[in-house]
C-alpha cells in the first residue's frame, strides 16, 4: 500500500470539513473552513479548481461530474459549476447549514442544519420540495440508493426518498453516546455509526437472505489499566467493491480497516499528523483519500496545517475481507516452500534444567508492499511446536533485515504484544453504558443537559461571547442540578468538549409508603423496587401522600443519572 500527500500551490489555510471522490473519475472535491471549494485531479496531481465563497464551507457533495453543492456557515446552500467555476445560492436554512447529499436515483438534494430542519430540494427548479422539522440537530447523513440514513443524538434513523411525506424509521444504533458519523453500506444492506466515545456500531446484511450482523466495538483496545481509549470516531467509509470491508478514522489521527463479517481488524495505517476529519473511496475502491485536519472538537487538538493523503488500496491488504482471501494466498498454504527468507536464525533464549531441550523462535522475514511493514512467518521451537505469523507496522522504512539473537528476542516481544491486542466486539446485551458522554460546548442548547462540578444539570440559560484574541468563543452556562435544584454556572470555550450526563426516566406504579419515608414500587417484570425515598419537593411530596391516602392508583416517574435516582413526577391513573 502506497500513500502520497496531495500538493497544493496555495496550502489549505483552515480546517478541512469534507472530501468526496467524483462518481466516475478520480477527481476529489474538498470543502474547508477557509471558505474555498477545491477540485483536485488525483491522477494528474493537479488542482483543477479553487472557488472562494463568502462563508466557511462545512460540507460538500457531487451531482454528476460537473456540478457540486456546498453547505455554508452563512446558512446558504450553494450550487457550483465545476467547469466555469461559477456559483449561485439555491436557498437557505434558518441556522448554519451542516450536511448536504445528492441522490442520483431520485434527483433530490438533501440538506440539514442547526435549525433542526431537513430540506429536500429539486436542483433543476432550484426550490425546496419538502421541509421537515426535527426534534434535535442532525449530526451526519449518508445515502445508499433511495435510503437516507440520519444520525441524531445517540439514535439512527432511516428515511425512504421515494416517499417524502413518510415518517422517519428509527434504527437501533447500539450506542448510548452521541453519534459523530453515520455511513451506509453501498455493497450490501446496512450501516455503521461512530460515536464520540470511540465506539462503532455495525448492522449489515451481506445478502437479502442472510441474517443481519449487528454488534458494537471500540476502535482502540483497553489500556493496560483497564480503561477505554475515548476518542471520537469522525468518519466511516465502506469500500464500494470489497464486501464486508470498511475504514474508520478518529480524532487522534488513526485510520483502521475492518472486516465486519469476521469481526477483525485488517490493518492500521501509521498515525496522521492531525485528527482524521473526512475520508472517501473512489468508485473502484482502490484509492482512499484521507483528510488529516483539526476539527475544533477538542481543546488540545493537534493544529498542524491540514493535509490530504491518498492511499492505493491493493489486494495484498484488502482482498475479499469477508472470506479472508488475499492475492498471495498460496504463500500461507505452502509457507516453507514459498517464503524466501533473507535471514533466519535459531537461538536459545531459555533453558530449563528440568528439560533436555531448549526453546527458541525460528523466524522468516519478508518485506511486502509498504516499506514500513515487515511480515514474520515461522514457528515456535518449543513443546509443543506452535506456528507463528504476524505483521508489524514500523515508524521507519526497512532498509534491510538481519536477525541476531538480541534483535530476534526484541521482535518476538513485539509479536506477542500484537497478538495480545484484542478488540472486544460486543452485542447490545453486553455493551456497557457510561455515565456521561462528551459533547462540544458550542452545540449544547437551552433545556439540554451538562455536567458542572460533577453534578448532572439542566441548562436554563446559555450565552456565547465573541471570539477573543486567543481564537476561542466562550460559552457561559447557567444550569440547575436536576436532583437538588441548586444553581450552578460554568464558562467553557465553545470548541471544547463538556461532559453530558445520560438522563433516563422510568414509570413505576406506587404500591406502598413506609413510615421511614421509603416507597415500594412495582416494576415491569413484577418485582418490587424498595430503595427510593419520597421526593424532597414539598408540592410533589404532598400530592403523593394525599393521593396515596385517598386510595388512588398512582404512577411515579423516576429520573436516573450518574448513579442517582429520584422521583420527579406523579401521574394519577384513577381510584383503586
Write the CATH number for 477: 2.30.30.30
Do 187 and 291 reside in the same domain of the chain?
Answer: yes
Contact 311, 3 (CB under 8 A): yes
Nearest in space to 18 (alpha carbons), one of 160, 141, 195: 141
Do 483 and 520 reside in the same domain of the chain?
Answer: no
Do 104 and 223 reside in the same domain of the chain?
Answer: yes
Do 309 and 445 reside in the same domain of the chain?
Answer: no
Grade residue 228 by pLDDT with cuts at 50, 70 and 90. Answer: low
- Rounded Cα distance between 152 and 175, Å, is 12
pLDDT at 222 exceeding the cut of 60: no
**pTM of the entire structure?**
0.62
Domain at 565, CATH number: 2.40.50.140
Phi then psi for residue 442, to 5 deg, are: -65, -15
Beta bridge partners of 156: 151, 171
Domain at 310, CATH number: 2.130.10.10
Residue that is written with C-alpha cell 484574541 in the block: 469
Tell which wins on pLDDT, 26 or 399. 26
pLDDT in tens, 16-49: 999 999 999 999 999 999 999 999 999 999 999 9
Q: Please say which residue of 277, 297, 314 terminates a domain.
A: 314
What lies within 8 Å, CB to CB, of 68 at 6+ separation is 29, 37, 39, 60, 61, 62, 79, 80, 82
Average pLDDT, the chain: 78
Residue 120: inside a domain:
yes
Beta bridge partners of 510: 521
Among 10-19, 90-99, 258-267, the minimum mean pLDDT is found in: 258-267
pLDDT in tens, 414-464: 333 333 345 656 554 444 457 888 888 888 999 899 999 999 999 999 998
What lies within 8 Å, CB to CB, of 546 at 6+ separation is none
Q: If 0-12 CB within 10 Å is exposed, 13-18 middle and 19+ buried, where does residue 481 land?
A: middle
pLDDT attached to residue 165:
85
Grade residue 323 by pLDDT with cuts at 50, 70 and 90. Answer: very low
Determine the structural domain holding residue 540 and report its residue range.
503-573
- Helices and strands (H, E) in the chain, number of each type: 4, 43
The C-alpha cell of 186 is what?
453501498
- Rounded Cα distance between 412 and 409, Å, is 5
- Rounded Cα distance between 65 and 106, Å, is 17
pLDDT attached to residue 170:
85
Tell which wins on pLDDT, 386 or 237. 237
CA distances from 318 to 116, 276, 421 (A): 39, 21, 20
Nearest in space to 321 (alpha carbons), one of 173, 198, 204: 204
3-state secondary structure of 342: coil
Average pLDDT over residues 462-479: 79
Do 478 and 537 reside in the same domain of the chain?
Answer: no
Q: Please say which residue of 479, 501, 523 terminates a domain.
A: 501
Phi then psi for residue 491, to 5 deg, are: -120, 125
pLDDT attached to residue 402:
44
Do 81 and 104 reside in the same domain of the chain?
Answer: yes
Do 114 and 186 reside in the same domain of the chain?
Answer: yes
Residue 342: inside a domain:
no
pLDDT attached to residue 406:
36
Contact 110, 61 (CB under 8 A): no
pLDDT attached to residue 360:
42
Beta bridge partners of 60: 70
- Distance linking the first and last C-alpha atoms of the chain: 72
Do 42 and 191 reside in the same domain of the chain?
Answer: yes
**Tally of structural domains, the chain:** 3
Q: If 0-12 CB within 10 Å is exposed, 13-18 middle and 19+ buried, where does residue 543 land?
A: middle
Listing DSSP states for 365-379 in one string gives: EEE-SSTTEEEEEEE
Q: If 0-12 CB within 10 Å is exposed, 13-18 middle and 19+ buried, where does residue 231 land?
A: buried
- Rounded Cα distance between 270 and 263, Å, is 21
The C-alpha cell of 297 is what?
472538537
**Total residues found in the chain within this entry:** 576
pLDDT attached to residue 192:
93
pLDDT attached to residue 242:
84
3-state secondary structure of 475: strand
Residue 476: inside a domain:
yes
Do 132 and 35 reside in the same domain of the chain?
Answer: yes
pLDDT at 465 exceeding the cut of 90: no
Among 120-134, 258-272, 325-339, the minimum mean pLDDT is found in: 325-339
- Rounded Cα distance between 105 and 100, Å, is 16
Do 473 and 523 reside in the same domain of the chain?
Answer: no
- Rounded Cα distance between 393 and 373, Å, is 5
3-state DSSP of 362-430: EEEEEECCCCCEEEEEEEEECCCCEEEEEEEECCCCCCCCCCCHHHHHHHHHHHHHHHHCCCCEECHHH
Residue 513: inside a domain:
yes
Residue 517: inside a domain:
yes
Do 44 and 98 reside in the same domain of the chain?
Answer: yes
- Using CA atoms in the order 433, 436, 438, 441, what is the torsion angle rounded to 10 degrees? 150
pLDDT attached to residue 264:
85
The C-alpha cell of 428 is what?
447490545
Give the rounded percent of residues in the chain with a pLDDT score beyond 90.
48
pLDDT in tens, 298-315: 655 567 889 999 999 876
pLDDT at 349 exceeding the cut of 90: no
Residue 546: inside a domain:
yes
The C-alpha cell of 260 is what?
465486519
- Rounded Cα distance between 110 and 106, Å, is 11
Q: Please say which residue of 451, 467, 501 terminates a domain.
A: 501
Residue 447: inside a domain:
yes
Residue 337: inside a domain:
no
Do 442 and 569 reside in the same domain of the chain?
Answer: no
Amino acid at each position: 500500500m502506497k500513500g502520497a500527500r496531495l500538493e497544493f500551490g496555495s496550502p489549505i489555510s483552515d480546517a478541512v470539513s469534507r472530501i468526496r471522490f467524483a462518481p466516475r473519475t478520480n477527481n476529489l472535491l474538498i470543502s474547508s473552513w477557509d471558505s474555498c471549494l477545491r477540485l483536485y485531479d488525483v491522477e494528474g496531481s493537479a488542482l483543477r479548481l479553487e472557488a472562494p465563497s463568502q462563508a466557511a464551507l462545512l460540507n460538500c457533495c457531487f451531482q454528476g461530474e460537473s456540478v457540486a453543492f456546498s453547505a455554508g456557515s452563512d446558512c446558504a446552500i450553494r450550487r457550483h459549476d465545476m467547469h466555469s467555476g461559477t456559483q449561485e445560492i439555491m436557498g437557505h436554512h434558518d441556522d448554519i447549514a451542516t450536511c448536504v447529499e445528492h441522490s442520483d436515483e431520485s434527483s433530490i438534494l438533501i440538506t440539514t442544519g442547526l435549525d433542526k430542519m431537513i430540506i429536500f430540494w429539486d436542483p433543476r427548479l432550484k426550490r425546496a420540495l419538502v421541509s421537515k422539522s426535527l426534534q434535535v440537530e442532525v449530526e451526519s447523513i449518508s445515502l445508499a440508493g433511495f435510503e437516507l440514513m440520519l444520525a441524531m443524538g445517540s439514535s439512527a434513523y432511516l428515511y425512504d426518498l421515494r416517499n417524502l411525506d413518510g415518517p422517519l424509521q428509527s434504527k437501533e444504533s447500539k450506542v448510548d453516546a452521541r453519534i459523530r458519523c453515520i455511513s451506509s453500506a453501498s455493497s450490501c444492506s446496512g450501516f455503521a455509526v461512530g460515536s464520540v466515545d470511540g465506539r462503532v456500531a455495525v448492522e449489515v446484511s451481506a445478502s437479502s437472505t442472510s441474517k443481519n450482523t449487528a454488534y458494537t466495538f471500540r476502535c482502540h483496545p483497553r489500556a493496560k489499566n483497564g480503561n477505554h481509549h475515548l476518542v471520537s470516531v469522525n468518519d466511516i467509509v465502506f469500500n464500494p467493491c470489497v464486501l464486508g470491508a470498511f475504514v474508520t478514522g478518529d480524532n487522534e489521527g488513526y485510520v483502521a480497516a475492518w472486516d465486519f463479517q469476521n469481526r477483525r481488524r485488517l490493518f492500521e495505517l501509521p498515525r496522521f499528523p492531525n485528527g482524521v476529519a473526512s475520508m472517501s473511496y473512489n468508485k473502484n475502491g482502490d484509492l482512499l483519500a484521507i483528510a488529516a485536519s483539526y476539527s475544533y472538537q477538542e481543546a488540545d487538538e493537534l493544529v498542524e496545517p491540514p493535509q490530504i493523503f491518498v492511499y492505493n488500496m491493493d489486494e495484498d491488504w484488502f482482498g475479499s475481507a469477508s472470506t479472508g482471501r488475499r492475492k498471495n494466498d498460496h504463500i500461507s498454504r505452502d509457507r516453507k516452500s514459498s517464503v524466501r527468507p533473507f535471514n533466519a536464525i535459531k537461538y536459545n533464549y531459555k533453558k530449563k534444567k528440568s528439560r533436555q531441550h531448549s526453546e527458541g523462535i525460528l523466524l522468516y522475514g519478508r518485506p511486502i508492499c509498504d516499506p514500513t511493514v515487515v511480515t514474520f512467518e515461522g514457528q515456535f521451537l518449543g513443546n509443543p511446536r506452535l506456528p507463528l505469523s504476524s505483521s508489524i507496522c514500523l515508524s521507519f522504512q526497512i532498509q534491510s533485515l538481519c536477525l541476531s539473537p538480541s534483535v530476534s528476542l526484541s521482535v518476538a516481544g513485539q509479536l506477542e504484544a500484537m497478538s495480545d491486542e484484542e478488540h472486544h466486539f460486543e452485542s447490545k446485551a453486553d455493551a456497557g453504558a457510561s455515565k456521561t458522554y462528551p459533547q462540544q460546548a458550542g452545540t449544547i442548547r437551552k433545556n439540554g443537559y451538562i455536567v458542572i462540578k460533577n453534578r448532572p444539570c439542566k441548562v436554563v440559560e446559555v450565552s456565547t461571547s465573541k471570539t477573543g484574541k486567543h481564537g476561542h468563543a466562550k460559552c457561559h452556562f447557567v444550569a440547575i442540578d436536576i436532583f437538588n435544584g441548586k444553581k450552578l454556572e460554568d464558562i467553557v470555550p465553545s470548541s471544547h468538549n463538556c461532559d453530558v450526563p445520560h438522563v433516563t426516566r422510568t414509570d413505576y406504579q406506587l404500591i406502598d409508603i413506609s413510615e421511614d419515608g421509603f416507597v415500594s414500587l412495582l416494576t415491569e417484570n413484577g418485582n418490587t423496587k424498595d430503595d427510593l425515598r419520597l421526593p424532597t419537593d414539598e408540592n410533589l411530596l404532598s400530592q403523593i401522600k394525599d393521593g396515596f391516602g385517598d386510595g388512588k392508583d398512582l404512577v411515579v416517574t423516576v429520573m436516573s443519572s450518574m448513579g442517582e435516582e429520584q422521583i420527579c413526577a406523579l401521574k394519577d391513573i384513577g381510584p383503586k
